[in-house]
Amino acid sequence: MSQKLWEKNTQVDSEVERFTVGKDREMDLYLAKYDVLGSMAHITMLESIGLLAKEELALLLAELKSIYVTAANGKFIIEEGVEDVHSQVELMLTRRLGDTGKKIHSGRSRNDQVLLDLKLFTRAEIQDLVGLVRSLFEVLTAQSDRCKDILMPGYTHLQIAMPSSFGLWFGAYAESLADDLLLMQAAYKICNRNPLGSAAGYGSSFPLNRQMTTELLGFDSMDYNVVYAQMGRGKMERTVAFALAGIAATLSKLAYDACLFNSQNFGFIKLPDRFTTGSSIMPHKKNPDVFELTRAKCNKIQSLPQQITLIVNNLPSGYFRDLQIIKEVFLPSFGELKDCLRMVTFMMREVQVNEHILDDDKYALLFSVEEVNRQVSEGVPFRDAYKAVGLSIEAGQLTPDKTVRHTHEGSAGNLCNDRISALMHNIINGFSFERANDAERKLTEGK
């Protein structure tokens, strides 16, 4: 027997049902905990405006807390024939509480219900991501400090260019993550607004107290205009996807560098043998598969904003079933990116660097700019010094001084890691996750 919140006397054709439900039951398992959390806030508000009795509220909250624990422990299931998470929760309540369980949907539509679920899920996932980015950031800055005096070649056009350092290399990716979190903070603030009460996108004739549910769920504010709240479906996911893509781009570039620098032709870094895989035919191979898979997974995540854009493009205001498909690409992307962050953090903590790269004479020309700058410091016009050094290179007569004297902010001799760490600290504090965390604790634990 199917269970649908909207079904009346006519049953939908089984093939139509299969096609329209699609992967929703599978995707809704991501949202189960948050659907329950939203229902707890909604019914608390319903009691305050006289649509539930206090006794009914107490019974419903007790059952919802039990379902919340089941969902939080990963044991929530959507039964065969039940359309989605909303139907499953209402079915469970009705089985246990009879007609009282049927009252939780007053003043609400599945439209604003799923909007809310997606926002609650997303802000929780963002908090997890921020923690993982912070862990990688701390590993990178520690490695940068540890390797600040170890020189390596810098490249432009994949040609040997100027002296760099492992301090710069590790630190560059740390600072990149700080900017990535600044973009994520903006996405979080767009996400952290309450759509509940917009119903099907046009509000309700019930005197809903939307400010109350906003506070109960720890949102910064509500999406005020009910039509705009509905228009936020797809927009929020696309905005967050751009922030996910920013982190993914940083990881992908780092993974590419690691693959390149780990190869025998470069030999700049070495991964412990237990972090590499072998070949079925070549016994000498030690492949950096983790970084290769990270690169591929993160490149896939970078396509996410475009996928969402193509789904929502050219839709007018109001709800359309097209929006359901966004869940299939959006919800799993957090797990994929978090997995990549964990693995890259693990790898970068253990990577070994080559401390003697520049002993090889093939890197001697890295120091040509240092020689130009030395002559300029002695009063030679830059263009004349540049030409003189160029001619000595062509004649094979350059004997460079391999001492690097960089002192300005952000250079090899002055990494500014303390300032970068302060920047990251301020960005993370700007998320203000405590409000959301406190609200969830109060709803689920009564604290």
**pLDDT tens for residues 328-368?**
999 999 999 999 999 999 999 999 999 999 999 899 999 99
Express each pLDDT in 47-67 by its tens digit: 999 999 999 999 999 999 999
DSSP at 100: G
Express each pLDDT in 169-204 by its tens digit: 999 999 999 999 999 999 999 999 999 999 999 999
CATH of residue 79: 1.10.275.10
Span 146-165, mean pLDDT? 95
pLDDT at 32: 95
Q: What is the CA radius of gyration of the chain?
A: 28
pLDDT at 3: 52
> pLDDT band at 414, cuts 50/70/90?
very high
Span 391-404, mean pLDDT? 89
Rounded-to-integer distance, Cα 197 and Cα 192, Å:
15
Residues 224 and 279 occupy one common structural domain: yes
pLDDT at 284: 66
In a domain, 335, yes or no: yes
Tracing tokens 């004739």 back to the chain, one arrives at 205
Residues 397 and 328 occupy one common structural domain: no
- pTM of this prediction? 0.92
> pLDDT band at 402, cuts 50/70/90?
confident
Rounded-to-integer distance, Cα 21 and Cα 325, Å:
10
Mean pLDDT estimate for the chain: 93
Residues 383 and 404 occupy one common structural domain: yes
**Could you tell me which residues are beta bridge partners of residue 151?**
165
> pLDDT band at 12, cuts 50/70/90?
low
Phi and psi for 158 in degrees, rounded to 5? 60, 25
Give the rounded percent of residues in the chain with a pLDDT score beyond 70: 95
> What domain range is 77 assigned to?
14-103
**Residue of 287, 275, 414, 285 lying closest to 345 (CA atoms):** 275
Which stretches does DSSP call E strand in 291-381? Answer: 352-353
Rounded-to-integer distance, Cα 99 and Cα 427, Å:
48
> pLDDT band at 1, cuts 50/70/90?
very low
In a domain, 381, yes or no: yes
**Residue of 173, 149, 166 lying closest to 353 (CA atoms):** 166
Tell whether the model's pLDDT for residue 279 goes beyond 60. Answer: no
Which stretches does DSSP call E strand in 183-235? Answer: 193-194, 221-222
In a domain, 283, yes or no: yes
In a domain, 156, yes or no: no
Tracing tokens 């939203």 back to the chain, one arrives at 38
Task: Using DSSP, state whether 221 is helix, strand or coil.
Answer: strand
**Residue of 413, 431, 426 lying closest to 171 (CA atoms):** 413
Tell whether the model's pLDDT for residue 123 goes beyond 50. Answer: yes
Cβ-based neighbour number of residue 224 at 10 Å:
11
Residues 38 and 169 occupy one common structural domain: no
Tell whether the model's pLDDT for residue 6 goes beyond 50. Answer: no
In a domain, 197, yes or no: yes
Residues 369 and 341 occupy one common structural domain: no
Contact call for residues 184 and 126 (beta carbons, < 8 A): yes
CATH of residue 174: 1.20.200.10
Rounded-to-integer distance, Cα 184 and Cα 250, Å:
13
Residues 62 and 135 occupy one common structural domain: no
Express each pLDDT in 295-322 by its tens digit: 999 999 999 999 999 999 989 998 988 9
Contact call for residues 252 and 224 (beta carbons, < 8 A): no
Tracing tokens 């890691």 back to the chain, one arrives at 417
> pLDDT band at 10, cuts 50/70/90?
low
Span 80-98, mean pLDDT? 93
In a domain, 320, yes or no: yes
Residues 258 and 404 occupy one common structural domain: no
Express each pLDDT in 211-239 by its tens digit: 999 999 999 999 999 999 999 999 999 99
Task: Using DSSP, state whether 419 is helix, strand or coil.
Answer: helix
Residues 200 and 328 occupy one common structural domain: yes
Could you tell me if residue 224 is left (phi over 0), alpha (psi between -120 and 50 degrees) or otherwise beta?
alpha
Tell whether the model's pLDDT for residue 100 goes beyond 90. Answer: yes
In a domain, 5, yes or no: no
Rounded-to-integer distance, Cα 318 and Cα 57, Å:
32
Tell whether the model's pLDDT for residue 438 goes beyond 90. Answer: yes
Q: Tell me the HSE value of 342 on the side-chain side, using a 13 A CA sphere.
A: 7
Rounded-to-integer distance, Cα 171 and Cα 136, Å:
11
Span 94-108, mean pLDDT? 95
Rounded-to-integer distance, Cα 38 and Cα 117, Å:
7
Tell whether the model's pLDDT for residue 78 goes beyond 70. Answer: yes
Distance of CA 405 to the CA centre of its chain: 39
Contact call for residues 345 and 136 (beta carbons, < 8 A): yes
Q: How many domains does the chain have?
A: 3
Identify residue 325 by its one-letter amino acid code: I
Residues 222 and 95 occupy one common structural domain: no
pLDDT at 23: 78
pLDDT at 274: 80
Residues 238 and 387 occupy one common structural domain: no
Tell whether the model's pLDDT for residue 382 goes beyond 90. Answer: yes
Residues 246 and 332 occupy one common structural domain: yes
In a domain, 286, yes or no: yes
- From residue 315, how far is each of 238, 320, 328 by CA, in Å? 14, 8, 18
Residues 260 and 299 occupy one common structural domain: yes
Distance of CA 420 to the CA centre of its chain: 20
**Residue of 208, 198, 215, 224 lying closest to 43 (CA atoms):** 208
Identify residue 364 by its one-letter amino acid code: A
**What is the DSSP track for 23-60?**
THHHHHTTTHHHHHHHHHHHHHHHHHTTSS-HHHHHHH
